[in-house]
Amino acid sequence: MQIKQKNISTGAVFLFFIFGLLFFVLAGRFLFIEVTGEAGGTALARKLETKYLRQDILEARRGSIVDRNGEAIAEDTVSYKLTAILDRSVTSSIKHPKHVVDPRKTAEKLSKYIDMDEEEIYKRLSKKGVFQVEFGSAGKDITHQTKKEIDSLKLPGIMFQRESKRFYPNGVFSSHVIGFTESKYNEKTKKDEAVGRMGLEKTMDKYLKEKDGVMEYDSDKWGFLLPNSKEKITAPQDGSTVSVTLDKKIQTFLEDSMNTVQEKYNPKKMIAVVANPKTGEILAMSQRPSFHPKTREGLENGWQNLAVEDSFEPGSTMKVFTLAAAVQEDVFNPNEQYKSGVYKVNKSGQIKDHNGGEGWGTISYLEGLQRSSNVAFAKLAMDKLGEDRFRNYLTKFGFDKPTGIDLPNEATGKILYKWPIEKVTTAFGQGTAITPIQQIQAASAIANNGKMMKPYVIKEITDPDTKKVIKQTKPTVVSQPISAETAKKVRDYLGTVVTAEHGTGQRYKINGYDVAGKTGTAQMPGPDGKYLVGNQNYVFSFLGMAPKNDPELVMYVAVQQPEVEYYADGGIPVSMIFNTVMRNSLQYLNIEPSKIETKKAEAIEDYTDKDLQSSAEALKSKGYQVTTLGKGTQIIDQNPKPGTKLLEGERIIFRTEGQLTAPNMNGWSLRDVMKLAKIGSIPLQTVGNGYAVKQNIKAGNKLSDKDYLIVQLETPEEDIEKTEPEPEENKGS
């Protein structure tokens, strides 16, 4: 018994000792943690802080690309991504669910707002064991308006994530210059980021690139901000604003005219550049094929910016610079005679004028320019200037090196000047290959009184917040290959190409403005090295400037292989682009017309009691416009009255018996509207100035002396502003 009790006492002591030891170990451990704040080498306070520390990304915006007047060409806009929360654990109150409660009803409602079938939406919303689902491309790029409409449905579990997307408000708009961006997933930031892939979006990426900010704060286990917790914010940095020299209106004129030509003549390629020759600023640049920077539609047809990255034989536009060299060296006598037709290069080689070598007999060098005679320019380059002096001018005009324009991948022209035949053909634009932008730079010397200006498209780069200019491009004089006096003479000679009886540039006349320029028709080399034959296998072009005496704009247009029936019609699509863009641009820039055509004045006879039809036909044959009020066949009154002297083309209004009805007065001058009101005794009220654009009594409706005729007028400038094409992104909205 004593032995048993002794064993129990010993066991109890042992257990007491063991539990006592454990107590002191645990107490010591707790004391160590309390004093050091560490466990297992880890700072517990920091671990707790990390567990409940939340980070929210503060999104920055990629920098915008804007035109010379601050109009957006490429910018970031807000869009939303649709998601649905399926996990029930996020709901803390049954009355206010945070997850999708009714997948069928939710799918039915969402199918009306996103491009996804109701059953597919239901299938996604019915998935088990997932926290949330997304809706692919159908759930991306949700507009603010659509988000607002979906929010109004108050569907539980439907959430939106705010995103940014690149927006190109003008659609196809100098696309190869501006370029585009693509989304690329960043492993570091765990998000998609826009990366420039072409054009200025690529070369200016370091300036346009944004840097997101971060907001850090303490939260509870559900991620909500704790009371009195302090936030640490690193502000986002938006990308810089890149201002380009392009002018939105001039570029729009260019894009629209190229679309018209594309539809009518379907050429293989088109290139056009508009520049300010006084500064070198590129005001417009486009091409076909082109592409839409958002959808990339059309991009597969060509990545190159043809105006900068492609060199080809210029054809007769090259004669502008051969002429300038000859005038500068005082070897061009416009009245000197030469024999056209054929020019012998050596014993076995010769070049011919473009009419098969027939020529036009013995003519002056000025007529040779007007007719675009190859023989005239072969003689000027080889016989008058000499091959060495002529070659020196090719360098002076910058044809043997890139211009240095601030666009990527600029090509270098290739001057073939080894063999005698190459030297001769270079004088009129065959054999040697140069880029359109080289021609624009060289032409600036002609337009800018001898000073050749470096072309550029980057106007300035500014900080979007402070508006501080980070980088700015200033006009740069590359060289002065000719004198101001020579430049003026060359413009005058080139002016006759447009105005002379035999001038090849007659279709480039623009009413009110003197144009100086040179046509070009370059043969196209085939795969075998020989030139292609056929009416369409040419590059038709025009290099022109206006107003001739002091050019504000210089423009180059080239159209390759348009679908025309006759060779002579190849210049028609070129003129459709040049004339439209040059005329509208000069008017838009408020360039005063250089001349106003004077109309002949004559007295109008008395047509009272005469037959309406014969009288109207006689006046129309003289160029007058005739409007009739009434249903009769005999004239009872007229305005203007007999004996009044009128300008050719003025409107005459005849009144006959019968009910008066309103004509369509769209485009009428105020004077013509007043004539109608007076002859019909109609009370008139006009609004605005200029030409009629709207009338309250519709054409064909009755006119009465008891009803007011109200006509709204607008100036041509207002009309241009009003009818400017709507950006493609906004059409139909």
Query: CA distances (Å), 629 to each of 256, 332, 653, 663, in order?
Result: 38, 61, 7, 8
For residue 216, the model assigns a pLDDT of 63
Of 1.10.287.3240, 3.40.50.300, 3.90.1310.10, 2.130.10.10, which CATH number belongs to 55-242?
A: 3.90.1310.10
Residue 637 C-alpha from the chain's centroid: 53
Q: What phi, psi does 219 have (nearest 5°)?
A: -135, 170
For residue 724, the model assigns a pLDDT of 38
- Specify whether the CB–CB gap between 675 and 640 falls below 8 A: yes
HSE, side-chain direction, 13 A CA sphere, residue 218: 10
Catalytic residues: 316
Same-fold call for 55-242 versus 249-588: no
Its pTM stands at: 0.71
CATH, range 249-588? 3.40.710.10
- Specify whether the CB–CB gap between 393 and 325 falls below 8 A: yes
- Specify whether the CB–CB gap between 296 and 501 falls below 8 A: no
Domain ranges (residues) in the chain: 2-54, 55-242, 249-588, 601-721
- Specify whether the CB–CB gap between 54 and 216 falls below 8 A: yes
For residue 423, the SS3 value is helix
Query: CA distances (Å), 8 to each of 18, 20, 127, in order?
Result: 15, 18, 64
For residue 623, the model assigns a pLDDT of 72
For residue 678, the model assigns a pLDDT of 87
For residue 48, the model assigns a pLDDT of 45
Burial label, 462 (beta-carbon count in 10 A; 0-12, 13-18, 19+) = buried
What does pLDDT average to in each consecutive run of 10 residues of the chain (733 residues)?
59 69 68 58 47 60 94 88 89 86 92 92 90 88 87 91 85 95 75 86 93 63 52 77 97 96 96 98 97 92 95 96 98 96 88 89 96 96 96 96 96 91 94 96 98 98 93 97 97 96 92 95 78 82 97 97 87 96 95 64 85 86 83 89 77 88 82 84 77 82 81 57 36 32
Of 3.40.50.2000, 3.30.10.20, 3.40.50.300, 3.40.640.10, which CATH number belongs to 601-721?
A: 3.30.10.20
For residue 632, the SS3 value is coil
